[in-house]
């Protein structure tokens, strides 16, 4: 698994994170790991929602070109 080292955090930020971790019965490391995992999941969920919206905005496929392509391949179609 990967590791991340964060430098130059304000001491007050670290203390607040430690307090929040303690309130949840977690270590600072575990608490921050959970924060990062949740944030990464939120990004994934947002991306999937955006992709779903794009897919929904596309017009439905109304024709299947398979038969036309086969006919052209077999020499049975008009060359329009």
Displacement of CA 3 from its chain's centroid (Å): 21
Using CA atoms, how far residue 66 sits from 59, 63, 69, 72, 75, in Å, is 19, 9, 5, 10, 14
Instruction: Count the Cβ atoms, other than its own, within 10 Å of residue 31.
Output: 19
Q: Is residue 15 part of a domain?
A: yes
Q: Which residue has the higher pLDDT, 51 or 61?
A: 51
Q: Is residue 30 part of a domain?
A: yes
Looking at residue 78, its pLDDT comes to 64
Q: Is residue 61 part of a domain?
A: no
Q: Is residue 2 part of a domain?
A: no
Q: How confident is the model at residue 10 (pLDDT cuts 50, 70, 90)?
A: very high
Looking at residue 80, its pLDDT comes to 55
Q: Is residue 65 part of a domain?
A: no
pTM as predicted:
0.55
Q: Is residue 41 part of a domain?
A: yes
Q: HSE on the CB side for 23, CA within 13 Å? A: 6
d(CA 22, CA 38): 18
Q: Is residue 69 part of a domain?
A: no
Please give the residue range of the domain that contains residue 23.
Answer: 11-55
Q: Is residue 66 part of a domain?
A: no
Indicate the number of domains in the chain: 1
């Amino acid at each position: 698994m990967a590791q991340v080292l964060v430098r130059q955090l304000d001491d007050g930020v670290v203390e607040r994170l430690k307090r929040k971790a303690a309130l949840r019965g977690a270590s600072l490391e575990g608490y921050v790991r959970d924060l990062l995992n949740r944030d990464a999941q939120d990004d994934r969920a947002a991306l999937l929602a955006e992709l779903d919206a794009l897919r929904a905005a596309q017009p439905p496929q109304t024709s299947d070109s398979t038969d036309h392509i086969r006919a052209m391949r077999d020499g049975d179609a008009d060359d329009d």
